[in-house]
Amino acid sequence: MKDIQNRKIQILKYIVEEYLESGGVTGSKSLREKHSLSVSSATIRNDMASLENMGLIFQPYNSAGRLPTSRGLRVFVDYLMEHMPQIFMEAESRLAARHDAKRLDDALYLLVSRLTKITGEISFAAVPDTLTSYYLGLGTFLERTHDTLGVEAYRIVRVLEDKHNFLQLISSLDISSRVSVFIGEENIIPDFESCTMIVKEFTLEGHTGYLGLLGPVRMDYAFNISAVRQVL
């Protein structure tokens, strides 16, 4: 029974990774051939049917391929949170910016600048009790998402530009000092429902703040979660 459950988790992982990489559907035959699974295509189809019944994948049209649901992405992200290796980050980046900065806003700007440079996503830092916030990466985000998000992309800009409202919204979220991930409709901020937000609580010079990324649902979760974890 344990082997069967592990295989289903692995199949879900492959389907999500294919979606994040190409946006395409994944079928049982391609799964078996690409990943050298030691079971038949019929067994893989049965596992996919089970994953579909659990609401983790779905069939977008009349084909053998499947895509992950938002719930499937959530399971994938939760798996990463427990099993993800420490990747692509230098150890010396942890708190260097904070110790070198003489002022809170300098430290926040350095954190956001570094996170944007590493990930290419919208990065933000917010300290509600000082009414301080920074964000960078909007230009790249708009260029990448103009065709897919359209006017929704500009709604995101408006939310970020309304500093007081944004600080209030961030403060109302259930964010941990580990990492919190809000995928698609999990965002309570309506204008973020087409995006994923990865955010971490931190303490800087005695203040509680939030450092995070905002990007499309199809993003490199492993890399971006690792970046948010280690840039502080």
What pLDDT does 149 receive?
Answer: 65
Domain ranges, residue 227: 91-231
Q: In 3D, which of 100, 109, 169 has the Cα closest to residue 135?
A: 109
> Could you tell me the pLDDT band of residue 90, with boundaries at 50, 70 and 90?
very low
What pLDDT does 102 receive?
Answer: 52
What pLDDT does 20 receive?
Answer: 92
> Could you tell me the pLDDT band of residue 179, with boundaries at 50, 70 and 90?
very high
Residue 121 has pLDDT above 70, yes or no: yes
Residue 93 has pLDDT above 80, yes or no: no
Q: In 3D, which of 85, 95, 92, 153 has the Cα closest to residue 122?
A: 153
Q: Which of 83, 101, 120 is the last residue of a domain?
A: 83
On whether both 222 and 163 belong to a single domain, the answer is: yes
Is residue 67 within 8 Å of 60, Cβ to Cβ? yes
Q: Which of 83, 108, 142 is the last residue of a domain?
A: 83
> Could you tell me the pLDDT band of residue 62, with boundaries at 50, 70 and 90?
low
On whether both 168 and 105 belong to a single domain, the answer is: yes
Mean confidence (pLDDT) of the chain: 81
Q: In 3D, which of 211, 192, 198 has the Cα closest to residue 127?
A: 211
On whether both 34 and 114 belong to a single domain, the answer is: no
Q: What is the mean pLDDT of residues 53-68?
A: 84
Lookup: tokens for 232? 């502080």
Q: Into how many domains does the chain fold?
A: 2
What pLDDT does 107 receive?
Answer: 84
Beta strands per DSSP E along the chain: 57-58, 67-68, 122-127, 132-136, 180-183, 195-204, 207-216
Question: Alpha carbon 213 to chain centroid distance?
Answer: 8
Q: Which of 83, 115, 140 is the last residue of a domain?
A: 83
> Could you tell me the pLDDT band of residue 222, with boundaries at 50, 70 and 90?
very high
What pLDDT does 158 receive?
Answer: 82
Residue 98 has pLDDT above 70, yes or no: no
Q: What is the mean pLDDT of residues 139-160?
A: 75
Q: What is the mean pLDDT of residues 132-139?
A: 88
What pLDDT does 112 receive?
Answer: 93
Greater model confidence, 24 or 102: 24
Residue 72 has pLDDT above 70, yes or no: yes
On whether both 121 and 143 belong to a single domain, the answer is: yes
> Could you tell me the pLDDT band of residue 118, with boundaries at 50, 70 and 90?
very high
CATH number, domain with residue 14: 1.10.10.10
Greater model confidence, 153 or 28: 28
Residue-wise DSSP of 148-187: HHTTHHHHHHHHHH-HHHHHHHHHHS---SS-EEEEGGG-
Lookup: tokens for 112? 């956001």
CATH number, domain with residue 108: 3.30.450.40
Residue 88 has pLDDT above 80, yes or no: no
> Could you tell me the pLDDT band of residue 89, with boundaries at 50, 70 and 90?
very low
